[in-house]
């Protein structure tokens, strides 16, 4: 019997446990699997609150549809009939305290259509002129890595970065665009620029042209979720796994090599023997867990930022001035504390009963981390004060759900790929059979985490049985 220990029951560790169990069943493999999760429940950052007909996500609320591993996993779990796309409504950027609709044709903030960009109120004439330098500037010469901010500031100028690109891209990682690694986050922008010379012309050629639609129904958006919340995936995986395979409320303190196998020391003093170990925990836990080896000590300097979100439920009558759209992001130069707001009842109609409104706002910029320490009531008041600058809200929420995520967003800072490679090389040489995966390393979106779980299973089975 071969023994595999998986550490961490978030999306990455769960998908590893699920796919390993599936292989064991389908191929009748002699495998003992143990999934160890520190908290009392599985799912890590996936947490759904179901209340009075509302489906409220405390953490992630959706996944990118074009990355297929999440919908495939949901399909394997028999949840395909629960998958829904978001409504592709208008979205806005709040700049200098005004809501501006996103210029048509902008892809992740990069303009691909000239006219909507030229007529947008988001930029001054000088900002627009500066952005046009993109057509003539030589290609970027990058030695190793550079920041996303530096790359876009050079091509399109500061104004386009501050008013459009920064609010969109930094929101995804809750990071500072001037510290985020170009190569680890959006290398496709660099590749497009290298291929076409201009990022605008390159993106224009790379983005598929949308066929005009005669249908009055709102078109499908690029995200998907499950009607009963993302936690459905977690619950179904837990149902699939044999109970004795899952150890909840138990922490792995240390992984040590003993001969050609491993021992995982638990906080209750027990030791789990393992032929192979898959570690799927946030990077800040690794130095302690792996005996302070120099290669893991470097992770201590990699920050994780904190954010909080506030979901608020209202009766429809409480919103007097409605806006035709699904939400907005806020630029750094606006006098707002919130960084984004989703009109969830419009973006995800299944998540909100008829006659109600569900708004979900984020706070917590990299330079405003203390905001997450405010009390629930303080956060709700701050968020409402901001919202009332753009919407007319006449009543207090019927209820609210505040979720704090302390040091939960790993930052892919410059040279992230080199750091990750050094860890991979170290494991190969010194700890073969230990695989480190998860949102701190090879992509933070849910489909990226699932891909990593699957890849870890493949590597583990190759080593054990081939
Ligand atoms: P985690 O979910 O952090 O799981 C790690 C697990 O390891 C935890 O359960 C932890 O308790 C456990 N653990 C830690 N130490 C130990 C130990 N010593 N022993 C045992 N167990 C341990 N992604 C999207 O695709 N779409 C979104 O809309 C989206 N929105 C997000 C919103 C928020 C607020 C946050 C925080 C993230 C969001 N993300 C989103 C990112 C995505 O949710 C995460 O990247 C992903 O869920 C991380 O999964 P993971 O398994 O790698 O890590």
Tell me: the pLDDT tens digits for 380-413?
Answer: 999 999 999 999 999 999 999 999 999 999 999 9
The predicted pLDDT at position 217 comes to 55
For residue range 288-302, list pLDDT tens digits in order: 999 878 999 999 999
For residue range 125-179, list pLDDT tens digits in order: 999 999 999 999 999 988 889 999 999 999 999 999 999 999 998 888 999 999 9
For ligand 1, atom 12, name the residue with the nearest CA: 8
Tell me the ipTM for this assembly.
0.99
Q: How many helices (H) and strands (E) does the chain have?
A: 17, 24
The predicted pLDDT at position 353 comes to 97
Please identify, by atom number, the ligand 1 atom nearest to the C-alpha of residue 405: 36
Please identify, by atom number, the ligand 1 atom nearest to the C-alpha of residue 410: 45
Q: Does 358 score more than 90 pLDDT?
A: yes
Q: Does 109 score more than 90 pLDDT?
A: no
Classify each residue of 215-254 as buried b or exposed e, where b means 16 or more C-beta atoms within 10 Å of its C-beta: eeeeeebebbbbeebbbbbbbbbbebbeeebbbeebbbee
12 is in an annotated binding site: yes
Q: Does 20 score more than 60 pLDDT?
A: yes
Lowest mean pLDDT among 26-35, 166-175, 370-379: 166-175
For residue range 93-108, list pLDDT tens digits in order: 999 889 999 988 888 8
Length of the chain: 466
For ligand 1, atom 48, name the residue with the nearest CA: 439
Residues 6+ apart with CB under 8 A from 88: 218, 219, 220, 221, 222, 326
Per-residue pLDDT, averaged over 442-452, amounts to 97
For residue range 227-239, list pLDDT tens digits in order: 999 999 999 999 9
37 is in an annotated binding site: yes
- The whole-model pTM stands at 0.95
For residue range 182-217, list pLDDT tens digits in order: 999 999 999 999 999 999 999 988 876 665 555 555
Rounded CA separation 454/11 (Å):
11
The Cα-based distances of 156 to 110, 168, 182, 225 in angstroms read: 9, 15, 15, 34
Q: Which residue has the tokens 């706002």?
A: 361
Per-residue pLDDT, averaged over 108-135, amounts to 90
Name 93's bridge partners. 100, 329
For ligand 1, atom 38, name the residue with the nearest CA: 60
* Contact present, 338 and 361 (Cβ < 8 Å): yes
Cα–ligand 1 centroid distance for 315 (angstroms): 32
Q: Does 118 score more than 90 pLDDT?
A: no
Rounded CA separation 124/160 (Å):
10
Query: What percent of the chain has a predicted confidence (pLDDT) above 90?
Result: 85
The predicted pLDDT at position 213 comes to 52
For ligand 1, atom 51, name the residue with the nearest CA: 10
Please identify, by atom number, the ligand 1 atom nearest to the C-alpha of residue 70: 25
The predicted pLDDT at position 171 comes to 84
Q: What is the DSSP letter of 416?
A: H
Q: What is the DSSP letter of 264?
A: E
Q: Which residues line ligand 1 (CB under 6 A)?
A: 7-13, 36-39, 44-46, 59-63, 251-252, 280-282, 285, 307, 405, 408-409, 438-439, 444-446, 449
Please identify, by atom number, the ligand 1 atom nearest to the C-alpha of residue 449: 52
The predicted pLDDT at position 112 comes to 85
For ligand 1, atom 34, name the residue with the nearest CA: 59
The predicted pLDDT at position 244 comes to 97
Cα–ligand 1 centroid distance for 454 (angstroms): 16
26 is in an annotated binding site: no
Mutational pocket test of ligand 1: of 5, 6, 7, 8, the residue with most ligand atoms within 8 Å of the beta carbon: 8
Name 424's bridge partners. none
Strand 327-330 relative to strand 252-258: parallel, antiparallel, unpaired? unpaired
Radius of gyration of the chain (CA): 23
Enter the tokens of residue 194: 């290298």
308 is in an annotated binding site: no
> How high is the mean pLDDT of the chain?
94
Per-residue pLDDT, averaged over 68-85, amounts to 98
Per-residue pLDDT, averaged over 34-48, amounts to 98
Enter the tokens of residue 37: 């999760």
For ligand 1, atom 27, name the residue with the nearest CA: 60
Cα–ligand 1 centroid distance for 423 (angstroms): 20
Phi, psi at residue 200, to the nearest 5°? -65, -50
Please identify, by atom number, the ligand 1 atom nearest to the C-alpha of residue 403: 34
The helix/strand/coil state of 434 is strand
Rounded CA separation 407/282 (Å):
10
Closest CA to 401 of 63, 50, 86: 50
């Amino acid at each position: 019997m071969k023994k595999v220990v998986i550490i961490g029951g978030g999306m990455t560790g769960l998908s590893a446990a699920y796919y390993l169990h599936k292989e064991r069943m389908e191929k009748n493999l002699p495998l003992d699997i143990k999934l160890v999760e520190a908290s009392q429940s599985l799912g890590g950052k996936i947490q759904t609150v179901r209340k009075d007909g509302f489906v409220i996500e405390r953490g992630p609320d959706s996944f990118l549809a074009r990355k297929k591993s999440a919908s495939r996993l949901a399909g394997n779990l028999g949840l395909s009939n629960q998958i829904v796309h978001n409504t592709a409504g208008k979205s806005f950027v709040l700049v200098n305290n005004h809501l501006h609709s996103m210029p048509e044709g902008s892809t992740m903030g990069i303009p691909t259509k000239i006219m909507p960009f030229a007529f947008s109120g988001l930029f001054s004439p000088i900002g627009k002129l500066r952005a046009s330098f993109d057509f003539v500037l030589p290609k970027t010469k990058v030695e190793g890595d550079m920041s996303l901010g530096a790359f876009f500031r050079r091509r399109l100028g500061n104004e386009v970065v501050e008013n459009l690109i920064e609010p969109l891209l930094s929101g995804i990682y809750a990071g500072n665009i001037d510290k985020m690694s170009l190569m680890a986050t959006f290398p496709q922008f660099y590749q497009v620029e290298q291929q076409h010379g201009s990022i605008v012309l390159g993106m224009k050629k790379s983005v598929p042209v949308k066929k005009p639609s005669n249908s009055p129904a709102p078109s499908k958006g690029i995200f998907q979720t499950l009607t009963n919340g993302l936690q459905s995936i977690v619950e179904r995986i837990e149902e699939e796994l044999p109970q004795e395979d899952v150890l909840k409320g138990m922490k792995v303190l240390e992984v040590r090599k003993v001969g050609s196998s491993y021992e995982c020391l638990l906080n209750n003093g027990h030791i789990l023997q393992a032929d192979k170990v898959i570690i799927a925990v946030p990077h800040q836990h690794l130095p302690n867990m792996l005996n302070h080896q120099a290669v893991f000590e470097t992770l201590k300097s990699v920050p994780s930022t904190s954010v909080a979100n506030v979901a608020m439920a209202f009766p429809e009558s409480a919103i007097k001035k409605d806006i035709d759209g699904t939400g907005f992001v806020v630029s750094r130069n606006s006098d707002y504390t919130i960084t984004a707001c989703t009109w969830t009842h419009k973006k995800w109609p299944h998540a909100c009963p008829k006659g109600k409104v569900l708004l979900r706002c984020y706070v917590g910029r990299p330079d405003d981390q203390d905001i997450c320490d405010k009390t629930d009531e303080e956060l709700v008041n701050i968020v409402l004060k901001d919202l009332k600058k753009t919407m007319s809200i006449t009543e207090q929420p019927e209820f609210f759900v505040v979720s704090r995520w302390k040091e939960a967003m790993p930052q892919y800072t410059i040279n992230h790929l080199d750091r990750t490679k050094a860890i991979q090389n170290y494991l190969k040489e010194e700890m073969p059979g230990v695989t480190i995966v998860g949102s701190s390393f090879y992509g933070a979106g849910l489909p990226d985490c699932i891909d990593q779980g699957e890849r870890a299973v493949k590597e583990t089975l190759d080593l054990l049985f081939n």
